[in-house]
Structure 1
Amino acid sequence: MRAESAKLTGQHGANRVADSKAVEVGGRAGFAARGVIYALVGVLAVRIAFSDGGGQQADRGGALAEIAHKPFGSVLLWLLGAALAGMALWRLSEAVIGQPGEDGDKAGKRLAAAGRAVFYGFVSYSVLAYAVGEKTSGSGSSDKRTDDVTAKALGWPGGQWILSVAGIGVACAGVWIAVRALMRKFHKHLEMARMSERERRVVDFLGMFGGASRGVLFATAGGFAVAAAVQHEPGKSKGMDDTLRSFAHTPAGPWLLVVIAVGLVAFGLFSWANARWRTV
């Protein structure tokens, strides 16, 4: 009885943490911050499609550099980092007590939430480190980091197999993201009843187009990782910037890159819709 009482007390405490206004605000701020990053990456990719990009990077580092050069850029970076920390806290609360919904307390969903909490915690740290002057922490080239990690992985025993499995996993995740977006699976996470008919149509378009574009980007990056493993060439693996640039080298020319880039902007706007209507 005492153990059961302690368990109930612990669950009650966890629920209070999950239901607290601070966690809700943190989650919504995190979606807004994610939207800023994706929207900026998309804008940078459009610039690159019609020019050499002026040395800019269409990835998180490029987005942070773009913010840093704006008026009050340092303040904006601090706000962005704090918002992403809020997202990490909200995801952590989901890992501890489960997500909203009937199957929200399943082990798989809790584990996924824990993984997202770690990811957003890392992103928050990199943004805040950049804000205090560690420029290589947040704005380093995603392509160089990818090359370094790939080269290191290929040097391990069985490294080709490990990299192949990782690449296939990323590619499959990209396909999964795109398919779920096109099937509008995001509806179950949003308070659709609070939206007007026009708002629902706009959110549907942004969620489907933005999610599908994001999924294509992930799937393509995973394919490059598999190619790097099979050919044992670290340079074949590409970060977000090089993956986006690769779309411009297809028969469709820069227009395919433009479509994906606009899709990333759409995903950024969809993230802002989540900040308003997501069930948190």
Structure 2
Amino acid sequence: MATNTVAGRADQMGRKTVRSTWFRWLLRAGLVTRGVMYLLVGWLAVQIGLGHGGEEADRAGALRAVAERPGGTLALWLLIVGFAGLALWGYTEALYGQASPDGRKARKRLSSLGRGLIYTAGFAATIAFVVGHGSRSSDAQSQTFTARAMGEPGGRWLVLGVGIAFVAVGVGVIVHAVRRKFQAELEHIGPRVRPVVDVLGVVGHVARGLVMGGAGVLLSYAAVSFDPHKAQGVDGTLREFARTPVGPWLLVAVAVGLLLFGLFSFCEARWRKLEHLG
């Protein structure tokens, strides 16, 4: 009985917290952070496509770009707060469900949990960068994971499974964009603004899905060829687009799509549904 009472009080306190104004502002701040990161990564990728890029087009490159600007340290701490908001959002949706008709299903909640873990990693990496421990590129992290996994029994199949999962997620994101399912997650958008938000959402999500799917293909190829160096993170995946027959223009097109997704994240920060939480 006592255990049930404690659990009930904890649940009540949790629901009260996620309904609070400050908590929802924190979640919206997280979406602003995501927008900033995608704008930076997209811009770095555009520079690479045009032959002017020196930084990696991934989180590590974006953090260095922020740190080099006046007030960079303060901006980095604000990004840390934003990543905390994104991580908490994922965990909150894992507990209470997403803002969709089937948002309480186990599949949706597991997806939110995974998103929370990813943004927790971003939170930790940004703190490590600020306190002086640096931030490894996504390519190096992917190759390290692949090499370690392949060194274990059955690790090659694990890497292949992760690669296929990334491809599946990338395809899912693209389908989500084409079917405009993201519209159900937004509210109170004026009729004049909605067409613009729709374009940002469709193009931005497609670009994001292409990068995820591309990273999955490269990871799967690394498993099949038993070569960890074939695995790539965001930066390496984007550079692979430039090596296609279309040349650097495909990279530029995808990079512009990432820029648009950054702008869409700002739209989400303004109009994302949050009332369902708790």
Q: Same fold (TM over 0.5)?
A: yes
Q: Deviations over 1:116-159 (max 9, x none)?
A: 22221221121122122221xxx311111111111111111122
Whether 1:140 aligns to 2:136 is: yes
Task: Give distance in 1, aligned partners of 2:7 and 2:231.
Answer: 47
Question: 1:47 corresponds to which residue?
Answer: 47
Whether 1:94 aligns to 2:83 is: no
1:170 Cα deviation after fit? 0.5
Partner AA of 1:252 in structure 2? V
Question: 2:81 corresponds to which residue?
Answer: 82
2:271 to 259, 268, 277: 277
Question: 2:124 corresponds to which residue?
Answer: 125
Unmatched segments (≥5 aa) in structure 1: none
TM-score when scaled to structure 1?
A: 0.92
1:178 to 168, 174, 181: 174
Question: 1:168 corresponds to which residue?
Answer: 164
1:261 Cα deviation after fit? 0.2
Q: Deviations over 1:192-245 (max 9, x none)?
A: xx2222310111001000000100111111011111111111111111111101
Question: 1:215 corresponds to which residue?
Answer: 209
Task: Give distance in 2, aligned partners of 1:66 and 1:273.
Answer: 23
**1:178–1:216 contact (8 Å) kept in structure 2:** yes
Partner AA of 1:180 in structure 2? H
Partner AA of 2:20 in structure 1? S
Task: Give distance in 1, aligned partners of 2:2 and 2:136.
Answer: 53
Question: 1:66 corresponds to which residue?
Answer: 65
Question: 2:25 corresponds to which residue?
Answer: 25
Unmatched segments (≥5 aa) in structure 2: none
Identity of aligned residues (%): 44
**1:35–1:267 contact (8 Å) kept in structure 2:** yes
Counterpart secondary structure, 1:51: coil
Question: 2:114 corresponds to which residue?
Answer: 115
Q: Relative to structure 1, is the Cα distance of residues 160 and 6 closer, same or farther in structure 2, using a 3 angstrom cutoff?
A: closer
1:235 to 220, 229, 234: 229
Comparing 229-238 and 64-73, the one that deviates more: 229-238
Partner AA of 1:17 in structure 2? T
Counterpart secondary structure, 2:60: helix
Task: Give distance in 1, aligned partners of 2:269 and 2:144.
Answer: 35
1:13 Cα deviation after fit? 2.6
Partner AA of 1:163 in structure 2? V
Q: Relative to structure 1, is the Cα distance of residues 7 and 158 closer, same or farther in structure 2, using a 3 angstrom cutoff?
A: closer
Task: Give distance in 2, aligned partners of 1:7 and 1:145.
Answer: 39
2:186 to 186, 190, 198: 190
2:198 to 204, 213, 232: 204
**1:14–1:96 contact (8 Å) kept in structure 2:** no
Task: Give distance in 1, aligned partners of 2:5 and 2:136.
Answer: 50
Task: Give distance in 2, aligned partners of 1:107 and 1:143.
Answer: 32
Task: Give distance in 1, aligned partners of 2:84 and 2:102.
Answer: 26
Partner AA of 1:95 in structure 2? A
Question: 2:254 corresponds to which residue?
Answer: 260
Counterpart secondary structure, 1:32: helix
Counterpart secondary structure, 1:251: coil
Counterpart secondary structure, 1:80: helix
Q: Relative to structure 1, is the Cα distance of residues 101 and 41 closer, same or farther in structure 2, using a 3 angstrom cutoff?
A: closer
Q: How many residues align?
A: 274
Task: Give distance in 2, aligned partners of 1:69 and 1:121.
Answer: 24
Task: Give distance in 2, aligned partners of 1:12 and 1:121.
Answer: 25
Counterpart secondary structure, 2:38: helix
